[in-house]
Amino acid sequence: MKKFHATAVMIAASLVASALLLASCGSSQTVHNRLVPQAQAEADLKRALDVGAISPSEYQEQIDRLRDGD
């Protein structure tokens, strides 16, 4: 019975440690995709607007964010 209890405690401690490690991996920094030129990103947004994938307000919001560098 003691061996089972010790094993259960070790498993629980491992799960808690894993959860804490994973939680600390998060970051509040914004990652900017520099692989796509701004002109291409704007063309992609326009195409999405034209086919109805995004609304005009979503298009404007994304264009503003793109041009502001966010």
Q: Is residue 23 domain-resident?
A: no
Residue 44, phi-psi category: left (phi > 0), alpha (psi -120 to 50), beta (remainder): alpha
Q: Is residue 61 domain-resident?
A: yes
- Give the per-residue pLDDT at 63: 94
CB 42 within 8 A of CB 59: no
> pLDDT tens digits for 29-65?
666 666 888 899 999 999 999 999 999 999 999 999 9
Residue with the larger pLDDT of the pair 2 and 5: 5
> Can you give the residue range of the structural domain that contains 65?
34-70
Q: Is residue 6 domain-resident?
A: no
What's the rounded Cα separation, in Å, for the pair 2 and 27? 41
Helices (H), the chain: 2-24, 38-50, 56-68
Domain count, the chain: 1
pTM: 0.51
- Give the per-residue pLDDT at 40: 92
- Give the per-residue pLDDT at 31: 63
Q: Assess whether pLDDT exceeds 80 at residue 13.
A: no
